[in-house]
Amino acid sequence: METIELIQLKIAELKDQLIAQHPQLPVLLREIHKTLRDNPEVVTLLEPEEVGVVVSGLLHQTQTTIATKTSTSKKKTQITLADL
Q: What is the pTM of this model?
A: 0.58
The model's pLDDT over 22-50, given as tens digits with 9 standing for 90+, comes to 678 888 888 999 999 999 998 888 899 99
Query: Do residues 28 and 14 touch, judged by C-beta distance below 8 A?
Result: yes
Which pLDDT value is given to residue 14?
85
| Secondary structure (H, E, C), the chain | CCHHHHHHHHHHHHHHHHHHCCCCHHHHHHHHHHHHHHCHHHHHHCCHHHHHHHHHHHHHHHCCCCCCCCCCCCCCCCCCHHHC
pLDDT-derived band at 74, boundaries 50, 70, 90: low
